[in-house]
Amino acid sequence: MRAPAGILNLLLLSLLAGLDPSKTQISPKEGWQVYSSAQDPDGRCICTVVAPEQNLCSRDAKSRQLRQLLEKVQNMSQSIEVLNLRTQRDFQYVLKMETQMKGLKAKFRQIEDDRKTLMTKHFQELKEKMDELLPLIPVLEQYKTDAKLITQFKEEIRNLSTVLTGIQEEIGAYDYDELHQRVLSLETRLRDCMKKLTCGKLMKITGPITVKISGTRFGAWMTDPLASEKNNRVWYMDSYTNNKIVREYKSIADFVSGAESRTYNLPFKWAGTNHVVYNGSLYFNKYQSNIIIKYSFDTGRVLAQRSLEYAGFHNVYPYTWGGFSDIDLMADEIGLWAVYATNQNAGNIVISQLNQDTLEVLKSWSTGYPKRSAGESFMICGTLYVTNSHLTGAKVYYSYSTKTSTYEYTDIPFHNQYFHISMLDYNARDRALYAWNNGHQVLFNVTLFHVIKTDDDT
């Protein structure tokens, strides 16, 4: 089970043609809509898009009328079929009666030829034949009634055809199927457009959604942001030290119910709670060291390990809650990252982008924010967001962009519902924050600000 589809509210700086900034908010079921319009200093429209459900025409009055009429025609066609079967049955009776009438005619001729000698015998036979014909009288009456009904149905169908033709012309000379295909095509194009919204600036955090209550006060749980749509495995790592057991669940539903699918016994104990699963492998900090381990769930083997040069470890530069949280491994839309502190940077946070195969540091950025003053941190689109506490009242207080090598102080509050956060990581596939909140596994929704550029925007 994936995180809810509505977990990301998209704020679009819309440069797309044809969007009406004056629209008011309506239900997403009524189609793709733009609402909450405003303008930036350059006069461009800033708006929110609501994605619809699959059947975009379901609430259109004309389409509904058309669909009802089509259903009525189908019902009438079924009634005609029933009548047709009945008339065919009655026709067989009529044929039988015709044969019997011919027999009677022959009997009458024979009676005329020899009325005196055979009168008694033939009279009895005639009576028997008449008795056989009596049940056919109501059949003939029903046959006449059905024939009238068929005529009436044909006339009504002709009238309906005229109405349908008028509606078809009124809605643009397209039949319903063609209109539906055109709407689906538009939906596909809009969804393709939304795929461009892979990165954005954090604007808001809402929630949390409590998924499960389990484990100790400290721990980590996660899914793989690079997994396929059908792969929704969950990994669970309780406690921040003295543990090597990773529990796997096939889905969040199995995780909630406790239906464990597999257990991994790591070759080393981990330190802290800031692990990450990325592209099928677990990345974690080896206990009492600044060594990063890459462990494959498929092979059950260590694929790589490397020391993170100068990185403090074993509670030298942890987050505010301690727990050997010196080295924080995380992933976003760009790749794999390590966040830590060094003596060389005066205990302030260092951000390093890692090669996911070799764990080699590709590039590093030194910030001015003290690691021991940070409650937690996470990466979104190459920007590090830092909270000022792990307790009640925590908020995202600082951000550093690796794209521009600049920082800013922010004020993005979020609800620390269970008072103590020991893990907070962004998942780019689900566009959500996974958190371990005092023995509660929770999800936070995020709102990102996006800019869509058209081909004409250079």
Which tokens go with 41?
A: 């200093």
Average pLDDT over residues 17-27: 38
CA 141/CA 144 separation, integer angstroms: 5
Q: Are residues 86 and 194 in the same domain?
A: yes
> Does 1 fall in a domain?
no
The larger pLDDT score, comparing residue 87 to residue 451, is at 87
The Cβ-side half-sphere exposure at 56, using a 13 Å CA radius, reads 19
pLDDT of residue 8: 34
> Does 289 fall in a domain?
yes
Contact in structure between 385 and 408 (CB atoms under 8 Å):
no
Average pLDDT over residues 436-443: 97
Q: Are residues 168 and 245 in the same domain?
A: no
Q: Are residues 147 and 225 in the same domain?
A: no
Query: How many domains in the chain?
Result: 2
Q: Are residues 223 and 189 in the same domain?
A: no
Tell me: pLDDT of 433 over 50. yes
| pLDDT single digits (tens) 142-152 | 666 766 666 77
pLDDT of residue 56: 41
pLDDT of residue 332: 96
User: Domain boundary residue among 165, 198, 231?
Assistant: 198
pLDDT level of residue 34 (50, 70, 90 thresholds): very low
pLDDT level of residue 209 (50, 70, 90 thresholds): very high
Which tokens go with 143?
A: 């046959």
Tell me: pLDDT of 51 over 50. no
Q: What percent of the chain has pLDDT over 70?
A: 59
pLDDT level of residue 136 (50, 70, 90 thresholds): low
Q: Are residues 183 and 72 in the same domain?
A: yes
pLDDT of residue 52: 46
**439: CATH:** 2.120.10
Q: Are residues 177 and 323 in the same domain?
A: no
- Residue 117's domain comprises 62-198
> Does 2 fall in a domain?
no
> Does 26 fall in a domain?
no
> Does 54 fall in a domain?
no
Average pLDDT over residues 129-135: 66
Average pLDDT over residues 76-81: 68
> Does 53 fall in a domain?
no
Q: Which residues pair with 327 in a beta bridge?
A: none
Nearest to 361 by CA among 282, 286, 308, 293: 308
User: Domain boundary residue among 163, 181, 198?
Assistant: 198
Q: Are residues 191 and 209 in the same domain?
A: no
pLDDT of residue 29: 42
The larger pLDDT score, comparing residue 124 to residue 50, is at 124
Tell me: pLDDT of 55 over 60. no
> Does 17 fall in a domain?
no
Q: Name the least confident of 17-21, 82-86, 221-225, 418-422.
A: 17-21
User: Domain boundary residue among 198, 229, 251?
Assistant: 198
Residues 6 or more apart in contact with residue 329 via CB below 8 angstroms: 274, 275, 276, 283, 284, 285, 292, 336, 337, 338, 339
Q: What is the mean pLDDT of the chain?
A: 79
pLDDT level of residue 190 (50, 70, 90 thresholds): low
pLDDT of residue 260: 96
Q: Are residues 377 and 241 in the same domain?
A: yes
Q: Are residues 136 and 258 in the same domain?
A: no
CA 418/CA 396 separation, integer angstroms: 17
pLDDT of residue 155: 72
> Does 14 fall in a domain?
no
Q: Are residues 315 and 423 in the same domain?
A: yes
Q: Are residues 187 and 265 in the same domain?
A: no
Range of 10-24, 97-111, 339-353 with top mean pLDDT: 339-353
Q: Are residues 105 and 188 in the same domain?
A: yes
Does pTM surpass 0.85?
Answer: no
